[in-house]
């Protein structure tokens, strides 16, 4: 029988190939891959999400600022009821893969094995969440740097690095050829627009380097994100006539922007646990200039796929050297390191381990 997997998404917004959040993109890519390998996949996510298998819609995505707590409670209650209903119908799941960042705290209310992927830095999680972890929960990290900060978690199974659908970033899909690399122009910043990702620094880098820049991303419905955008980003966009803002780009827009940029700038101030943006840039043959934070050194090969720098001054200087980076070397490195097939292999191995161990562990946990 096909492995029956329930994927649980972060409930704030929808899941699709156009999602701005890294966890949503990883879920979309992994679920698509597992479905194509024959798994029976269901995704619990906001209404309007686009998945390959079955969508279990737990409610509408947030539109009002700071509505996340209410939305997350409804999301979790809907999932618990759905899991119990499926079990009563004889269609229970074999494993739950939680990418929501919090559902696993309620895993004690069900009797299925739960794998919780930790996408965020350790200090982004409430410490209480790692006290009295339910017996049916195991964790995985997405990078070596991240795993070091979770080394005290006894139920940490290992590391599965993130991957991307490499073929979707191939320049030839859009009719481009290697000979058109000379058309690349300016810098690109891509992702969630919030203070810890620091797009205002990317605008500063571009201005000081005398280069045009495109800022492409989404402001989530949190008031502190919106205030940050109004305080730090909008004034810089208005002041710089060579800065362009693309709100919530489609996948096709994102791919075109990646192929057209001289370099992608990553200015995160957080200890990054991975970087899908850096992977997508490499797959597009585009160099990265990134602040050296967390696991970024596990994704960007310094001097080969881009430059890792310590501060804004050195990022500005690196802009003068991006033409030294070979686009072919970037794509070759991406094919070797960032395949979503490798990611799916890693998770398939973890699913097998926890499903095999689940009956004994759950029985012991209920004694």
Tell me the pLDDT tens digit for each residue of 239-287: 999 999 999 999 999 999 999 999 999 999 999 999 999 999 999 999 9
Mean pLDDT of 289-310: 98
Q: Which pLDDT band, with edges at 50, 70 and 90, does 174 fall under?
A: low
- Write down the pLDDT at residue 366: 37
- Write down the pLDDT at residue 329: 97
- Write down the pLDDT at residue 358: 76
Q: Is residue 268 domain-shared with residue 327, that is, in the same domain?
A: yes
What tens digit of pLDDT does each residue of 309-366 get?
999 999 999 999 999 999 999 999 999 999 999 999 999 999 999 999 876 544 433 3
Number of separate domains in the chain: 2
Q: Is residue 171 domain-shared with residue 112, that is, in the same domain?
A: no
Q: Which pLDDT band, with edges at 50, 70 and 90, does 181 fall under?
A: very low
Strand-pairing partners, residue 97, are: 7, 115
What tens digit of pLDDT does each residue of 183-227 get?
799 999 999 999 999 999 999 999 999 999 999 999 999 999 999
Answer whether residue 173 shows pLDDT above 90. no
Q: Is residue 352 domain-shared with residue 272, that is, in the same domain?
A: no
What domain range includes position 87?
4-163+339-366
Token duo for residue 249: 């780009």
Answer whether residue 177 shows pLDDT above 60. no
What tens digit of pLDDT does each residue of 53-67 get?
999 999 999 999 999
- Write down the pLDDT at residue 182: 52
Answer whether residue 69 shows pLDDT above 90. yes
Q: Which pLDDT band, with edges at 50, 70 and 90, does 367 fall under?
A: very low
3-state per-residue secondary structure call for the chain? CCCEEEEECCCCCCCCCCCCCHHHHHHHHHHHHHHHCCCEEEEEECCCCCCCCEEEECCCCCCCCCCHHHHHHHHHHHHHHHHHHHHHCCCCCCEEEECCCCHHHHHHHCCCCEEEECCCCHHHCCHHHHCCCCCCEEEEECCHHHHHHCCCCCCEEEECCCCECHHHHCHHHHCCCHHHHHHCCCEEEEEECCHHHCHHHHHHHHHHHCCCEEEEEECCCCHHHHHHHHHHHHHHHHHCCCEEEEECCCHHHHHHHHHHCCEEEECCCCCCCCCHHHHHHHHCCCCEEEECCCCHHHHCCECCCEEEECCHHHHHHHHHHHHHCCHHHHHHHHHHHCEHHHHHHHHHHHHHHHHHHHHHHHHHHHC
What tens digit of pLDDT does each residue of 77-124 get?
999 999 999 999 999 999 999 999 999 999 999 999 999 999 999 999
Query: Distance between CA atoms of 71 and 167, rounded to whole angstroms?
Result: 35
Q: Could you tell me the CATH number of the domain that includes residue 81?
A: 3.40.50.2000
The proportion of the chain whose per-residue pLDDT surpasses 90, expressed as a percent, equals 93
Q: Is residue 186 domain-shared with residue 258, that is, in the same domain?
A: yes
The proportion of the chain whose per-residue pLDDT surpasses 70, expressed as a percent, equals 95
Q: Is residue 112 domain-shared with residue 256, that is, in the same domain?
A: no
When the pLDDT of each residue in the chain is averaged and rounded to a whole number, the result is: 94
Q: Is residue 321 domain-shared with residue 182, that is, in the same domain?
A: yes
Strand-pairing partners, residue 339, are: 164
Q: Is residue 38 domain-shared with residue 148, that is, in the same domain?
A: yes
Q: Which pLDDT band, with edges at 50, 70 and 90, does 170 fall under?
A: confident
- Write down the pLDDT at residue 298: 98
Query: Distance between CA atoms of 124 and 74, rounded to whole angstroms?
Result: 22
Q: Is residue 144 domain-shared with residue 16, that is, in the same domain?
A: yes
Tracing tokens 């097998």 back to the chain, one arrives at 352
Token duo for residue 327: 């686009």
Q: Is residue 201 domain-shared with residue 140, that is, in the same domain?
A: no
Q: Is residue 350 domain-shared with residue 250, that is, in the same domain?
A: no
- Write down the pLDDT at residue 103: 98
Q: Is residue 329 domain-shared with residue 344, that is, in the same domain?
A: no
- Write down the pLDDT at residue 171: 76
Q: Higher pLDDT residue, 171 or 179?
A: 171
Give the rounded distance of the alpha carbon of 308 from its chain centre.
20
Token duo for residue 353: 């381990």
Q: Is residue 154 domain-shared with residue 207, that is, in the same domain?
A: no
- What pTM was computed for the model? 0.94
Query: Distance between CA atoms of 138 and 326, rounded to whole angstroms?
Result: 41
340 close to 30: Cβ distance less than 8 angstroms: yes
What tens digit of pLDDT does each residue of 132-168 get?
999 999 999 999 999 999 999 999 999 999 999 999 9
């Amino acid at each position: 029988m096909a492995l029956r997997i329930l994927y649980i998404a972060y409930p704030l917004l929808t899941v699709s190939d156009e999602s701005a959040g890294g966890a949503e993109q990883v879920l979309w890519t992994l679920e698509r891959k597992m479905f194509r390998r024959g798994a029976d996949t269901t995704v619990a996510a906001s209404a309007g999400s686009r998945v390959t298998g079955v969508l279990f819609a737990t409610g509408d995505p947030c539109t009002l600022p700071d509505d996340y707590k209410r939305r997350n409670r409804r999301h979790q209650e809907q999932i618990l009821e759905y899991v119990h209903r499926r079990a009563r119908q004889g269609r229970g799941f074999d494993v739950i893969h939680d990418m929501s960042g919090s559902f696993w705290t309620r895993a004690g209310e069900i009797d299925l094995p739960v794998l919780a992927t930790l996408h965020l830095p350790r200090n982004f999680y409430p410490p209480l969440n790692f006290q009295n972890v339910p017996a049916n929960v195991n964790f995985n990290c997405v990078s070596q740097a991240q795993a070091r900060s979770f080394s005290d978690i006894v139920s940490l199974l290992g590391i599965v690095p993130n991957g991307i659908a490499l073929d979707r970033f191939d320049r030839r899909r859009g009719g481009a050829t290697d000979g058109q690399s000379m058309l690349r122009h300016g810098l690109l910043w891509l992702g969630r627009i919030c203070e810890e990702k620091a797009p205002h620094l990317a605008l500063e880098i571009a201005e000081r380097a005398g280069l045009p820049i495109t800022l492409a991303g989404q402001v989530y419905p949190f008031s502190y994100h919106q205030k940050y955008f109004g305080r730090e980003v909008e004034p810089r966009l208005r002041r710089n006539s060579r800065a362009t803002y693309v709100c919530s780009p489609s996948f096709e827009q994102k791919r075109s922007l990646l192929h057209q940029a001289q370099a992608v700038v990553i200015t995160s101030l957080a200890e990054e646990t991975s970087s899908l943006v850096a992977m997508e840039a490499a797959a597009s043959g585009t160099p990265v200039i990134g602040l050296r934070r967390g696991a970024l050194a596990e994704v960007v090969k310094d001097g080969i796929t881009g430059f890792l720098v310590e501060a804004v001054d050195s990022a500005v200087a690196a802009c003068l050297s991006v033409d030294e980076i070979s686009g072919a070397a970037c794509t070759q490195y991406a094919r070797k390191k960032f395949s979503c097939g490798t990611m799916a292999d890693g998770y398939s191995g973890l699913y097998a381990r926890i499903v095999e161990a689940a009956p004994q562990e759950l029985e012991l946990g209920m004694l």
